[in-house]
């Protein structure tokens, strides 16, 4: 199994669920994480990543960490200073249309979104609300482009798009697609030589459907236009994702693998969870499992079954612990 990993955690793209997979693997195999100085869950985002943001890094005696997965704005030469040269790099993408809808709810407090009453209003005259120099403006346009380290306000010429896609391809070994999360986990498992249980997960940091709004066709086109660079990234890597499945695994085997993954997930849900699924924040009984609530989104969580034996309880708890709590527990373990 591969143990040196860089995960670029792209905002609002099921990346908290992926992070839980990495946290659990790292914890079970006693791996080291590249934590932000002072803990927390962001490596001085939205600045470009610098090696000195990592606790325990020193240029004089460069210490290598196994897993780098906290929020950062990607800058490969700096990333290479904190992980081994054989590290596997991967990230996850999401359809920019849903991504924008999600960001609008989640980052409602940012300068670009706070004055618009609806996403529709924002998109009717984006430059009335959006100013690239305002802090937090990156949440409002081409967020994936930004997280990968590029300029979200750059011109959309064929040449520039090609260079950007090429740069991502050169830096990353795999790009997952959040709409095909289970297929993504199968590809990840293959690439990292991990077993099935290592990539099983319950969806974390997901939103209550009551705060999701359906989008008209006109809105969809406006969102694609406004986030043209993200759209180019997504359509390109969605295509190569399926090409890779056809090349390395084949559709039939992929179907079998996905089925096995879902069955194992359902089995774990029966073992671990009260009522099999996620619950509204007000119904979460254990306050240590309460996810961070943000913007106008309602973030769901889980209740564990009572009376589980110690070992099972520990395994189940790891699966449902929200990102911030899990991260801070691992931080305290690594820096007692």
| Angle (CA) 33 39 91, round 5° | 50
3-state secondary structure of 177: strand
What distance in Å separates the CA atoms of residue 308 and residue 257, rounded to the nearest whole number? 29
With 0-12 / 13-18 / 19 or more C-beta atoms within 10 angstroms meaning exposed / middle / buried, residue 329 is middle
- Is residue 85 pLDDT above 90, yes or no? yes
Residue that is written with structure tokens 């996905």 in the block: 258
29 neighbors 112 (Cβ within 8 angstroms): no
**What integer pLDDT is reported at residue 62 of this predicted model?**
80
What distance in Å separates the CA atoms of residue 65 and residue 210, rounded to the nearest whole number? 41
Q: Is the pTM of this model over 0.85?
A: yes
CA distances from 28 to 31, 216, 221, 267 (A): 8, 45, 45, 21
Stretch among 100-109, 172-181, 219-228, 235-244 having the lowest mean pLDDT = 100-109
Mean pLDDT of the region 76-102: 97
Q: What is the pLDDT of residues 116-168, one digit of tens each?
A: 999 999 999 999 999 999 999 999 999 999 999 999 999 999 999 999 999 99
- Identify the CA nearest to 98 among candidates 176, 152, 178, 161: 178
Mean pLDDT of the region 308-321: 97
Mean pLDDT of the region 102-126: 94
With 0-12 / 13-18 / 19 or more C-beta atoms within 10 angstroms meaning exposed / middle / buried, residue 12 is buried
What distance in Å separates the CA atoms of residue 122 and residue 321, rounded to the nearest whole number? 35
| pLDDT grade for 26, boundaries at 50, 70 and 90 | very high
Number of domains the chain is built from: 1
Cα-Cα end-to-end distance for the chain: 27
136 neighbors 259 (Cβ within 8 angstroms): no
CA distances from 26 to 150, 288, 326 (A): 29, 21, 12
Q: What is the DSSP letter of 328?
A: H
SS3 content of the chain, % helix, strand, coil (to 5): 50, 10, 40
Q: What is the pLDDT of residues 260-298, one digit of tens each?
A: 999 999 999 999 999 868 999 999 999 999 998 877 778
For residue 140, the enclosing domain spans 5-334
User: In the chain, pLDDT over 70 holds for what percent of residues?
Assistant: 99
- CATH number of 52's domain: 3.40.50
CA distances from 281 to 18, 25, 290, 298, 324 (A): 21, 27, 7, 7, 15
């Amino acid at each position: 199994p591969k143990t040196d990993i860089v995960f670029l955690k792209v905002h609002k793209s099921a990346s908290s669920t992926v992070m839980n997979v990495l946290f659990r693997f790292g914890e079970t195999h006693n791996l080291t994480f590249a934590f932000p100085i002072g803990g927390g869950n962001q490596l001085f985002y939205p600045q470009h990543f610098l090696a000195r943001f990592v606790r325990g890094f020193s240029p004089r005696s460069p210490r290598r960490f196994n897993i780098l997965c906290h929020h950062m704005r990607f800058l490969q030469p700096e990333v290479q200073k904190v992980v081994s040269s054989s590290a596997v790099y991967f990230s996850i993408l999401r359809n920019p249309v849903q991504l924008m809808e999600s960001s609008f709810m989640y980052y409602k407090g940012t300068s670009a979104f706070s004055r618009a009453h609806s996403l529709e209003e924002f998109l009717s005259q984006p430059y009335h609300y959006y100013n690239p120099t305002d802090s937090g403006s990156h949440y409002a346009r081409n967020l994936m482009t930004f997280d990968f380290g590029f300029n979200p306000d750059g011109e959309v010429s064929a040449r520039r798009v090609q260079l950007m896609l090429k740069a991502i391809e050169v830096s990353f070994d795999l790009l997952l697609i959040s709409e095909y999360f289970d297929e993504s986990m199968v590809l990840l498992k293959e690439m990292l030589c991990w077993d099935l249980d290592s990539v099983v997960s319950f969806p974390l940091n997901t939103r209550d459907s009551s705060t999701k709004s359906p989008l008209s066709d006109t809105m969809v086109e406006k969102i694609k236009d406004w986030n043209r660079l993200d759209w180019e990234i997504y359509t390109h890597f969605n295509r190569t994702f399926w090409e890779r499945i056809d090349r390395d695994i084949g559709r039939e085997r992929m179907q079998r693998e996905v089925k096995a993954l879902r069955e194992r997930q359902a089995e774990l849900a029966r073992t671990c969870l009260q009522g099999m699924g996620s619950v509204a924040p007000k119904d979460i009984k254990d306050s240590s499992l309460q996810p961070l609530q943000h913007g106008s989104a309602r973030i769901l969580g889980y209740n564990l079954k009572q009376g589980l034996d110690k070992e099972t309880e520990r395994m189940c708890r790891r699966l449902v612990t929200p990102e911030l709590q899990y991260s801070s527990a691992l931080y305290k373990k690594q820096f007692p």
